[in-house]
Chain A
């Protein structure tokens, strides 16, 4: 394999990996605040792309994306206050099942609102045929957008959860909801905020990747599964680790394609997931101590 080809496989892996990472970040935010795995995360990505596409017919790209993010966050908040809040007496597992139901609901609703056709947002810079040459390997300018947005997002998330009062309050809710309440944190609004935030981030991801992956009402499920693998792989609750794990999985898949038929791609990634879970159940970057305090 020539150096150029290796670089090309690395780019391909990073592209796919950053898409996975976007979904995984969304999982982490809700998990951090509630301990729930929200399986409707893939649908937020889909909604972001769909709504932005619809608005982009009438306005420039940027306001369309901003509107899509706002509307999807609102939907996320609404879902929390309509479904999740009423399920509070239920176990975490029960609520996870509810999120699966919500994902089906959102999927069918968008089939009704839009249709079964695929849509793709315009490229942010350049077009479908433009490519950037980096040391002989080629990459779509949109991939650079995906990467850039992912990096910015991780930094913002890190700062938010570490240094802002709201971010700390959200983390407190996850550690111990009752103690957080006793400290005067409004846990309800924190959980609501976490849904809005992760829906918004999912929607942003949906917009950034739409020119590359295209948006289709049923795309959420596959994204949710891959994002879930990545979130587990990185260690639940850690956005930076999710991005690292996402790109790692993308690279593994990409290089597995270079030697094996592509049909084995998912087999390779699942085997690696199993091995990691056996060797280090807290995820590659997860701390053993932290994971021992979690429900699962």
Chain B
């Protein structure tokens, strides 16, 4: 009897919640889905991304929404797990009926859901970096971070000017790390650079002295570390401890002041290409991105009391591009938004000036990156 009673109560509650959730579905709100790795191994990407998206949507809604229509942002935490990302993307599309999706945070997840977004014809603006997300182009899939190949080319051309010939590569064993390693291996011959050794390490690695000893024995002129994981601060520390004095290049994943803090004195002199967000205040006044960058940086830092990172910037760009597309769209439906996204031109974001085309769903050029370094514990221009 007791059991039946409990069952009845549960069923009753379900009916009530279902009923209310149906009532809450107001006409006129625009639903945007978001998949970010808020917790888990990539939370240093996903958490600032989710916070950024929430902040932007709050601001837009406070300012009257898009043409009077409020935005409803539905954030799902995938914990950087591709299986979760797959089920969330289906949930967002089928149950929540979202107009567009921003995210995921990591390349591995994005590659898993690229085909799903494409087959359901839902615009997806990823905040993940790997080039394979937009190459080959899927008509509904876009991404905001700068292309891996640009990063690889920037690193190599800087190496050329420094007279570096022989390098060692270490990369995290993640979608991002492996994709980056592939790009470096692809473009090295074009710049006359020899890769003496290329290795991957576990994403949770806590000590890399053994691996770096192997690199040291190969007498490399420079080391490239390509990852988004905390090992970005472990590699410089371990290199100094081993007495390796060669320059360390990192990928655009290094754009987070916490990594400088964690690496401390060992971070000095690290060279890496990144968007201009990290050096927003140091940009000359005429720069077309400066206004956007400084505004986002100030808003984020005053709201959340933590330093801005390029990752949050990728989410800022993703949501702003979707909003811009909704504003421009002829019809506010999935296809209309997709078409409007593809025709966005000269839109200043944190990652660069976005100009999409049917063949380019990243929309950024080589000039979206700057070579940066760490000087006196701060990000600064290399030159």
Contacts and interface: CB of A to CB of B under 8 A. Distances in A.
Interface of A: 1, 5, 8-9, 11-13, 15-16, 19, 108, 111, 115-120, 123, 127-131, 133, 138-140, 209, 212-214, 216-219, 222, 253-254, 257-258, 261-263, 265-266
A263 B206 contact: no
7 interchain residue pairs of minimum CB distance: A116-B43, A213-B206, A12-B210, A128-B266, A140-B241, A12-B209, A128-B264
A222 B265 CA distance: 27
A213 B234 contact: yes
Nearest to B37: A116
B217 A5 contact: yes
A263 B204 contact: no
A23 B201 CA distance: 22
B263 interface: yes
B242 interface: yes
Given A12-B209, A118-B233, A214 B242 contact: no
A118 B210 contact: no
A262 B200 contact: yes
B210 A254 contact: yes
A258 B213 contact: yes
Contacts of A218: 39-41, 43
Given A128-B264, A138-B242, A261-B199, A16 B207 contact: yes
A262 B43 contact: no
Interface of B: 38-41, 43-44, 46-47, 173, 199-202, 204, 206-207, 209-211, 213-214, 216-217, 230, 233-234, 236-237, 240-243, 258-259, 261-267, 306
B44 A214 contact: no
A127 B265 contact: yes
Contacts of B214: 257-258
A111 B243 CA distance: 35
Nearest to A131: B241
Given A12-B209, A138-B241, A116 B39 contact: yes
A265 B40 CA distance: 23
B164 to A, nearest CB: 21
Contact of B211 (A118, A129, A140, A262): A262
B211 A212 contact: no
B87 to A, nearest CB: 20
A13 B233 contact: no
B348 to A, nearest CB: 28
A201 B267 CA distance: 31
Given A8-B213, A15-B209, A120 B264 contact: yes
B248 to A, nearest CB: 12
A258 B210 contact: yes
A118 B258 contact: yes
Among B206, B263, B265, find the residue whose CB has the most chain A CB atoms closer than 10 A: B206
B223 to A, nearest CB: 14
A12 B207 contact: yes
Contacts of A138: 241-243
Contacts of B306: 115, 117
A129 B262 CA distance: 12
B213 A128 contact: no
A5 B259 CA distance: 29
Nearest to B239: A129
Contacts of A5: 213, 217
24 contacts: A8-B209, A12-B209, A13-B210, A15-B207, A15-B209, A116-B38, A116-B46, A117-B44, A117-B306, A118-B44, A120-B262, A127-B264, A128-B267, A131-B241, A138-B241, A209-B206, A213-B234, A214-B230, A214-B262, A219-B204, A258-B210, A258-B213, A261-B199, A265-B202
A138 B263 CA distance: 18
Contacts of A133: 243
Contacts of A9: 210, 213
A209 B241 CA distance: 15
Contacts of B241: 129-131, 138-140
Nearest to A256: B210
A19 B233 contact: no
Given A8-B242, A139-B241, A218-B40, A212 B265 contact: no
Contacts of A222: 204, 206
Contact of A19 (B43, B47, B207): B207
Contacts of A209: 206
A127 B237 CA distance: 9
Contacts of A258: 210, 213-214
Contacts of A123: 264
Given A138-B243, A262-B201, A129 B265 contact: yes
Contacts of A266: 202
A118 B217 contact: no
B54 to A, nearest CB: 15
A257 B210 contact: yes
Contacts of B41: 218
Contacts of A129: 240-241, 264-266
Nearest to B243: A138
A82 to B, nearest CB: 24
Contacts of A1: 217
A165 B239 CA distance: 47
Given A116-B43, A118-B259, A131-B243, A212 B206 contact: yes
B204 A214 contact: no
A12 B238 CA distance: 10
A119 B43 contact: no
A84 to B, nearest CB: 26
B230 A216 contact: yes
Contacts of B202: 262, 265-266
B39 A128 contact: no
Given A8-B242, A130-B241, 5 more contacts: A12-B213, A128-B265, A129-B241, A213-B207, A217-B43
A169 B244 CA distance: 51
Given A11-B209, A214-B230, A216-B230, A263 B173 contact: yes
A9 B243 CA distance: 14
